[in-house]
Amino acid sequence: MRKFVIVILALLAVVAYSATVTWRLAEVHPLNYPTTQANIFFAETVRKMTNGRINIEVLYGGQLGGETETIQQTMAGVIQFNRTSAAPLSSFVDTLSVLSLPFLFRDKNHYWKVLDGAVGEQLLESMKSSGLIGLTFYDSGARSFYTTKKPILKVEDVKGLKIRVQNSPVFVDMIKLLGGTPIVMEYGQVYSALQTGVIDGAENNIPSYESSSHYEVAPHYTFNMHTMVPEILFMNLAAWNSLSKEDQLIIKTAAFAASLYERKLWEEREKISLEKVKDKVNLYNLTPEEMKRFQEAVQPIYKQYEKHKTVIDSIINTK
């Protein structure tokens, strides 16, 4: 009898063990960055809600590679979870290009109305065509230009500048419309490219500008806020399909909770980062006229992305 009980217990342990999965989540930012903290919150929530059956290991700081590489690995299922900007993702999921379009969102209220609403859900689902599924959006503020030598104060100042962009067709087209030369490069290479003069500038939100230390080598930051492209937490579609309906619901619920958490951290981090750089760099605001000229200069891009007109219109028409 005793032997029998031991065998049963051993069998149960094997079943329990085999039902436990450990998955990886790629993240380029360091530990203290809002997206990383939200990913850790997400992993912790999933672990608790599944009683430890689903473990997600957050590999931050670019340990698994640059965003383009990890997106490809997530599509292949080598990595199961990932958090990247929607910009490089649009190289693999064309519909996501709309989220990078310049001056698309009117303000934060409009941004979250769209992302938390039907259009947002549709965009997350559209990733299925590339073997991925979007789980939620994270805040990423607004991106602006920063340069090494002279500030960008008007549209003409971009002319001839080599500007680093993410691996995203919209960003490439946008820089061209402004008269600059877009240079596609991974985030991790930007610091030395700025330092050695391979590029004249880049563009990002203040938390990334600060956290990457780009401000040390590119001290002219102009708040032109050309785009509010969000971050996306997503996963491999086959891994998603391997989950029960209950576990899928847990993943979605935890992802949304992580998003709400990230938004709070983001708001705080924007202030902290600004505080940290403000005396070390030159910050510029554009005059309303110049802001308008920037908007007009990139307007033709909407014609170039007309194939996404239905989605673009439903974003613009979200009140």
Which residues sit at the interface with ligand GTR, rule CB under 6 A? 28, 67, 84-85, 140, 166, 187, 204-205, 208, 231
Cβ closest to ligand GTR, residue 50 vs residue 70: 70
Cβ closest to ligand GTR, residue 178 vs residue 250: 178
CB of 124 to ligand GTR, least distance (A): 17
CB of 100 to ligand GTR, least distance (A): 11
Q: Cα 302 to chain center, whole Å?
A: 22
Cβ closest to ligand GTR, residue 202 vs residue 239: 202
CB of 2 to ligand GTR, least distance (A): 56
Cβ closest to ligand GTR, residue 97 vs residue 140: 140
CB neighbours of residue 259 within 10 Å: 23
For 225, phi then psi, to 5°, come to: 45, 55
CB of 167 to ligand GTR, least distance (A): 8
CB of 141 to ligand GTR, least distance (A): 8
Cβ closest to ligand GTR, residue 42 vs residue 54: 42
The DSSP annotation for 236-248 comes to EHHHHHTS-HHHH
CB of 50 to ligand GTR, least distance (A): 27
CB of 292 to ligand GTR, least distance (A): 25
CB of 254 to ligand GTR, least distance (A): 20
What b/e readout covers 98-136, taking b as 16+ CB neighbours within 10 angstroms? Answer: bbbbbbbbeeeebbbbbbeeebbeebbebbeebbbbbbb
Cβ closest to ligand GTR, residue 139 vs residue 157: 139
Cβ closest to ligand GTR, residue 50 vs residue 201: 201
Cβ closest to ligand GTR, residue 91 vs residue 236: 91
